């Protein structure tokens, strides 16, 4: 489900491994939250998938079988993984090895750096296409990276190709799918090679705005509940249900 | 002066049609304000010109014959069309079919999406070149799209080509002049095909900052007057008058 | 050390001339502060180096021989030159004729426009690589230009090539190293040709956010001291000293 691989010097790779498409369910998200937190003592962290495949996003097929509590739980874990990545005390590099729509992009926008596979892959926040919508934190984190491109991308629920993603700032670098993980590890290694205090101090300064989007710790639990409640509500709206089910009939 | 064409499913095209260059005078601007408001019940709205021609901006030649009240009126209507586009309850897609300096760009920056004709066309806020200057709302709306490129572009009163406009975020997509209107309609159609509530909710979230630039409704009239007063004052400054008149002698 | 050349109509070129690499020491920085202030009556100002060479940044070799007071003095002057450029009442165009790491970029981000030499040159805020870190103003001015690209660039202490710098908004235009100064002078000439009041008024509007980063005049001296104290402290940290010295042994 999630392969944890340690590379010298102190770089922990979290490799999504839930065939066939690394779909995110509560169990995988919970494993990710735990693994991200457990990597706090490392030098840096890298999240990858398999060459040509990163993650299809939330496990929609599985979620269609869940009741309201089950769906809420998925959204709680999706919130927690965002929170864990955003608050990681060590740099997080995403090696986006392939498709990365919706839930995949939701995680990636909280990281420090994103290497993306070039080729016929897509990423973006396309939730609106199935009747869902980004909340304040996802909107803020996405806009923090993509600036003036953000409004149109979100309104359209646009899935974009790697070249466009680079142009709008959603990813920081492109390379062949086969080399994405290697390159992400290299970036992590470069970060680890920097004078630790200066790097972490700079990192705190540039991520202050991202942290503040989550609010102070006192509000954290409230925001988590709000995210899960709104997510589940939108999920069970009749229009959304119809779209989600139609999506699978088409496949 | 303004052709209004309805396309299925519920997309209203407002096509500028004031030969020879779709120059914006009080009458055309007033027609636009009315048409934008009247389209509130549609699915989406598209603004276009003719292939190779969008709008030359304000009708400077006509305005040089107006007295202070007449010029103020033009600025009042220019404000109102910005306000109407920014506050449109349905998405507005601009099909910028050709040149789009000054007044044309002033309108476009409040829209949801901009398709621009590639080729030897120019757009931008070049008001400073004739002694005018952008107010707070125009500055804010322009910067919202172009971010860090905004300061230098505005200070220079730069007119830029389509490729540069894409790079700095002033437009969202390029295509052949002949296909701009078709492509803008297609984007509008895609927006209409999205789950309506989720799309409109996302759109509200991402346009909140733009709305706030106009201030609350109580301030709206005050801001409109301020814009018109400052516009007319700058217009009748001797240096501006000389530049505007010289512009027409050159032609 | 600093060549001051006047070009018609009222454009003052400040050409760095401290062989071999235009390294910035207290004396050169002080000369720059004086020259920037003295150019306030000109139409515009241009800062250049020699084709293929702009500035290697702070004179690290020289600073390694200085005591705490000497190092503090360098940081005081580095602060003052930033302040002087940011507050210049006339436009400042940088002609970045070659390499421009650290201190060079620190100055350039406060200017109105940046022309950069294409080719095998680098610029960026790489201070973190030797154990230093950007303060609030440098962070703010850098982010003002580079937006969403800023966090990753600063965390990595990245030195980037001209094409990347153009893409992320750190520079505004590229040209051959041999023509950078000429092109920067041309941009300055275009700025001078604009209606003066409208241009300066627009310039004030778009630079208001940059000015505010420096705080009000009452806080200015406090911020200057803070910058110098923090700079000297980081400089004399054992880890930084080791890195700086190793840097020169390698050469």
CA distance B10 to chain A (A): 17
CB B77 within 8 A of CB B37: no
Strand order in the sheet with B98-101: B52-53, B98-101, B123-124
CB C63 within 8 A of CB C71: yes
Nearest to C199 among B128, B147, B243 (CB): B128
Chain B residues inside the 8 Å CB shell of A150: 206
Q: How far apart are CA C230 and CA C105, in angstroms?
A: 19
Residue C28 is encoded by which pair of tokens? 């050169």
As a whole number, mean pLDDT of residues C180-192 equals 98
CB A57 within 8 A of CB A22: no
Residue B85 is encoded by which pair of tokens? 């586009």
Outline where chain A has alpha helix (H): 26-38, 60-63, 68-86, 103-108, 136-146, 150-156, 162-168, 180-193, 196-213, 217-236, 238-250
CA distance A82 to chain B (A): 20
CB A48 within 8 A of CB A13: yes
Beta carbons of A195 and C134 less than 8 Å apart: no
pLDDT tens readout for residues A88-120: 999 999 999 999 999 999 999 999 999 999 999
Beta carbons of A155 and B201 less than 8 Å apart: no
Q: How far apart are CA B190 and CA A38, in angstroms?
A: 43
CB proximity list for A162: less than 8 A, separation 6 or greater: A116, A117, A118, A119, A121, A123, A171, A174
Residue B189 vs residues A101, A131, B9, B91, B176: alpha-carbon distances, Å: 22, 17, 7, 10, 19
Taking each helix axis from N to C end, the angle separating A68-86 and A217-236, rounded to the nearest 10 degrees, works out to 140
pLDDT at A183 exceeding the cut of 70: yes
The closest alpha carbon to C204, from C87, C68, C93, C116, belongs to C87
Residue A129 is encoded by which pair of tokens? 């296409």
Long-range contact pairs involving C28-33 (C-beta distance under 8 Å, separation at least 24): C28/C1, C28/C2, C28/C59, C29/C74, C29/C77, C29/C78, C29/C80, C29/C81, C30/C77, C30/C80, C31/C1, C31/C2, C32/C2, C32/C81, C32/C84, C32/C107, C33/C77, C33/C80, C33/C81, C33/C84
Q: How far apart are CA B186 and CA B93, in angstroms?
A: 10
CB A123 within 8 A of CB A105: yes
- What residue has token string 């995403």? A94
Taking each helix axis from N to C end, the angle separating C136-146 and A196-213, rounded to the nearest 10 degrees, works out to 60
CA distance C17 to chain A (A): 31
Q: Which positions in chain A have a beta carbon within 8 angstroms of at least one beta carbon in chain B?
A: 127-134, 136, 139, 143, 147-152, 154-157, 167, 234, 237, 239-240, 243
* Per-position DSSP letters for C33-86, written without gaps between them: HHHHHHGGGSSEEEEE-BTEE---SB-HHHHTT--HHHHHHHHHHHHHHHHHHH
With vertex at residue B146, the alpha carbon angle to CA B142 and CA B150, rounded to the nearest 5 degrees, is: 75
The pLDDT, as a whole number, for residue C216 is 83
The band of B247, judged by pLDDT with boundaries at 50, 70 and 90, is confident
pLDDT tens readout for residues C30-82: 999 999 999 999 999 999 999 999 999 999 999 999 999 999 999 999 999 99
Q: How far apart are CA C53 and CA C46, in angstroms?
A: 15
Q: How far apart are CA A131 and CA B194, in angstroms?
A: 8
Counting one residue from B and one from C, how many pairs have CB atoms under 8 Å apart? 69
- Kindly identify which residue of chain C lies nearest to residue B143, measuring between CA atoms: C206
Residue B10 is encoded by which pair of tokens? 């519920």
pLDDT at C251 exceeding the cut of 70: no
Chain C residues inside the 8 Å CB shell of A205: 133-134, 136, 139, 154
CB B111 within 8 A of CB B145: no
The band of C218, judged by pLDDT with boundaries at 50, 70 and 90, is confident
State the DSSP code for C91: -
Q: How far apart are CA B138 and CA B79, in angstroms?
A: 10
Nearest to C198 among B133, B136, B149 (CB): B133
pLDDT at A251 exceeding the cut of 80: no
The closest alpha carbon to B110, from B157, B73, B143, belongs to B143
Identify the chains in contact with B, defined as 3+ C-beta pairs within 8 A: A, C
**Paired strand residues for A12:** A6, A45
Q: How far apart are CA C111 and CA C85, in angstroms?
A: 6
Beta carbons of C243 and A195 less than 8 Å apart: yes
Cα A126 versus chain centre, distance: 13
The closest alpha carbon to B104, from B138, B57, B38, belongs to B57
As a whole number, mean pLDDT of residues B58-71 equals 97
Q: Which positions in chain A have a beta carbon within 8 angstroms of at least one beta carbon in chain C?
A: 91, 112-113, 144-147, 167, 169, 172, 187, 190-191, 194-195, 197-199, 201-203, 205-207, 210
Measured from the Cβ of residue C77, the count of other Cβ atoms closer than 10 Å reads 22
Nearest to C194 among B128, B151, B234 (CB): B128
pLDDT at C250 exceeding the cut of 80: no
User: What's the longest Cα–Cα distance across chain B?
Assistant: 54
Measured from the Cβ of residue B178, the count of other Cβ atoms closer than 10 Å reads 11
Computed over every residue of chain A, the mean pLDDT equals 96
pLDDT tens readout for residues B170-195: 999 999 999 999 999 999 999 999 99
The closest alpha carbon to C198, from B152, B64, B154, belongs to B154
Among the ranges given (A20-34, B66-80, C87-101, C204-218), the one the predictor scored with the smallest mean pLDDT = C204-218
State ipTM: 0.96
Run of H or E residues at B142? helix B136-146
CB proximity list for B86: less than 8 A, separation 6 or greater: B110, B141, B207, B210, B211, B213, B214
Q: How far apart are CA C138 and CA C218, in angstroms?
A: 20
Beta carbons of B133 and C169 less than 8 Å apart: no
pLDDT at C23 exceeding the cut of 70: yes
The band of C220, judged by pLDDT with boundaries at 50, 70 and 90, is confident
Beta carbons of B112 and A149 less than 8 Å apart: no
Beta carbons of A156 and B197 less than 8 Å apart: no
Identify the chains in contact with C, defined as 3+ C-beta pairs within 8 A: A, B
pLDDT tens readout for residues B98-128: 999 999 999 999 999 999 999 999 999 999 9
Identify the chains in contact with A, defined as 3+ C-beta pairs within 8 A: B, C
pLDDT at A203 exceeding the cut of 90: yes
Give pTM, 2 decimals. 0.97
Mutation target vs C (from B151, B157, B240; most C CBs, 10 A cutoff): B151
pLDDT tens readout for residues C104-129: 999 999 999 999 999 999 999 999 99
Q: How far apart are CA A109 and CA A125, in angstroms?
A: 10
């Amino acid at each position: 489900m999630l392969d944890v691989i340690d590379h010298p010097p102190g770089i922990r790779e979290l490799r999504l491994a839930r065939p066939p498409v690394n779909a995110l369910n509560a169990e995988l998200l919970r494993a990710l939250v735990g693994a991200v937190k457990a990597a706090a003592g490392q030098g840096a962290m890298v999240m990858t998938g398999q060459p040509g495949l990163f993650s299809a996003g939330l496990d929609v097929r599985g979620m269609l079988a869940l009741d309201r509590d089950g769906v809420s739980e998925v959204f709680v874990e999706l919130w927690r993984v965002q929170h864990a990545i955003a608050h990681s005390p060590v740099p997080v590099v995403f090696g986006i090895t392939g498709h990365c729509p919706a839930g995949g992009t939701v995680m990636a926008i909280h990281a420090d750096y994103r290497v993306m596979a070039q080729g016929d892959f897509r990423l973006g926040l396309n939730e609106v296409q199935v009747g869902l919508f980004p909340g304040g934190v996802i909107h803020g984190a996405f806009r923090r990276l993509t600036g003036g491109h953000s409004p149109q991308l979100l309104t359209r629920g646009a899935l974009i190709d790697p070249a466009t993603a680079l142009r709008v700032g959603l990813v920081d670098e492109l390379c062949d799918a086969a080399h994405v993980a290697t390159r992400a590890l290299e970036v992590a290694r470069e970060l680890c090679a920097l004078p630790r205090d200066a790097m972490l101090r700079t990192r705190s300064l540039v991520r202050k705005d991202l942290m503040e989007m989550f609010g102070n710790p006192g509000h954290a639990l409230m925001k988590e509940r709000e995210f899960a409640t709104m997510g589940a509500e939108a999920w069970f709206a009749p229009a959304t249900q119809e779209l989600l089910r139609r999506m699978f009939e088409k496949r």
